[in-house]
Structure 1
Amino acid sequence: MTPTTTIALIRHGQTPWNAEFRIQGRTDIPLNDTGRKQAQDAATTLGEGWHAIATSPLTRAAETARIIAAELGLDSPTAVEHLVERDYGRAEGLGAGEELESVRIPGGFQEAEPEVEVAARGLLALEHLRDTHPGHRVIAVAHGSFIRLTIASLFEFDAPRIGNASVTVLTHDESGWELQTVNGEPARGLAARTD
């Protein structure tokens, strides 16, 4: 019998670019004070009983993870490259308007990482965390588009926008993956039998 592994995907806290509605992607923007408070609130939402924490290597995720780890008494976060945000190519740094529209192409933006590649990378990240921490409860701090595209692909549904410092929980057992919550709200039993 396969033990149940629980993974909580947390989007990093707010950054100045989030507050300005600018696309971040791989651009390495730190948290603002609101984001740091959101990270503390996420730790309170998660509560006790977690075994490990992983993070995207980008500063905003790593700082969120360090705050959560300190609040919950966990060891320092482990960086997992696959958790990094989607590369938005020429759209990074842009907000809504003519300049953003000038780099838009069908299915995304010029020079951006394709959504299917982000989703495939997301599944690799989930499998890595499951295989590294079988039967444990693991927190993974990542990014909005990364989380949304990963769960949308895995569970074949139109996933909502992922809020800053929100909690999305998946479990894995002998039946496969099951989505428990999205943005802290019940996911109503979406399951993917992928094993």
Structure 2
Amino acid sequence: MSRRVVCLRHGQTLWNVERRFQGHTDIPLDETGIAQAARAASMLATLRPELIVASDLQRAADTADALARVTGLSVTVDEDLRERGGGEWEGLTREEISAGWPREFAAWEAPGGEDVADVAKRVSASVRRWAERLSPDGLLVVVSHGAAIRLGIARLMGLPQEHWPALGGLGNCSWSVLQEGRKGWRLMEHNAGTLPEPIQSDDSPEAAPS
């Protein structure tokens, strides 16, 4: 038996469509995002989660509420699951950012924004904290944001920071699945929109599910 964590990105917002940096700005789901949240909820409910924890920003909290409605669970809000703060870039498009801050854009470091290491630390600590409350084979659903999830997973897996960009992003209402193994957390699914399947392969036992 081993604990699992599903890291679910929120549904689509208007700013996602317009390619605007959202950060800590509290943007609601659009109609497509609401439908995406309902679809993800219907699928993830079949995994019988024990806990649902979400960022306090409404796009994540409302995505979590969709799952809560079909599971009968309540949603716990944790501010540590917020998206990376974007400082002066929040509300701006990538074109506006690249034109106004070409050097910072190349490094993707927003003036007044949050450092990636700080985001990774707070998100991974939150996931660990809530996962500790699970039963030995329990499932936690964490509803958060694209950068926050990617950075938190990278730190949970113990990847050196220079390798964090190797982990791709997540689409709206897609998820990643972490499973606790004998040597720590392992990434079993990433940017998925279908339920995880059992893995059968000739790989070492440590690389396969426990």
TM-score, length of structure 1 as denominator length: 0.87
Aligned counterpart, 1:58: 57
Measure how far apart 1:84 and its partner are.
0.9
Contact 1:53–1:74 under 8 Å retained in 2? no
Contact 2:52–2:64 under 8 Å retained in 1? yes
Structure with the higher helix share, 1 or 2: 2
The alignment-based identity, stated in percent, is: 36
Spell out the pairing of 1:91-110 with structure 2 (5 A cutoff): 91-103=89-101, 105=104, 106-110=107-111
Aligned partners of 2:28, 2:108: CA distance in 1, in Å? 28
Aligned partners of 2:154, 2:188: CA distance in 1, in Å? 14
Contact 2:127–2:142 under 8 Å retained in 1? no
Question: Which has the larger displacement, 74-83 or 101-110?
Answer: 101-110
Structure 2: 5+ residue runs without aligned partners? none
Structure with the higher strand share, 1 or 2: 1
For residues 51 and 111 of structure 1, do their structure 2 counterparts lie closer, same or farther at Cα, with a shift above 3 Å needed?
same
Aligned residue pair count: 187
Tell which structure's C-alpha radius of gyration is larger. 2
Aligned counterpart, 1:162: 170
Question: Which has the larger displacement, 166-175 or 135-144?
Answer: 166-175
Aligned counterpart, 2:123: 122
Spell out the pairing of 1:64-103 with structure 2 (5 A cutoff): 64-71=63-70, 73-103=71-101
1:44-74 deviations in Å (ceiling 9; x for gaps): 3324221121100000100000011112x23
Aligned partners of 2:58, 2:45: CA distance in 1, in Å? 24
Structure 1: 5+ residue runs without aligned partners? none
Aligned partners of 2:44, 2:179: CA distance in 1, in Å? 15
Aligned partners of 2:87, 2:80: CA distance in 1, in Å? 18
Measure how far apart 1:109 and its partner are.
1.2
Contact 2:3–2:180 under 8 Å retained in 1? yes
Aligned partners of 1:32, 1:130: CA distance in 2, in Å? 30
Spell out the pairing of 1:1-195 with structure 2 (5 A cutoff): 4-48=2-46, 49-71=48-70, 73-103=71-101, 105=104, 106-135=107-136, 136-155=138-157, 156=159, 157=163, 158-184=166-192
RMSD: 2.2
Q: Secondary structure at the match of 1:8?
A: strand
Aligned partners of 2:174, 2:93: CA distance in 1, in Å? 22
Question: Which has the larger displacement, 75-84 or 167-176?
Answer: 167-176
Aligned partners of 2:32, 2:96: CA distance in 1, in Å? 29
Contact 2:26–2:58 under 8 Å retained in 1? yes
Contact 1:90–1:103 under 8 Å retained in 2? no
Q: Secondary structure at the match of 2:151?
A: helix
For residues 98 and 175 of structure 1, do their structure 2 counterparts lie closer, same or farther at Cα, with a shift above 3 Å needed?
closer
Contact 1:94–1:100 under 8 Å retained in 2? no
Question: Which has the larger displacement, 99-108 or 74-83?
Answer: 99-108
Q: Secondary structure at the match of 2:114?
A: coil
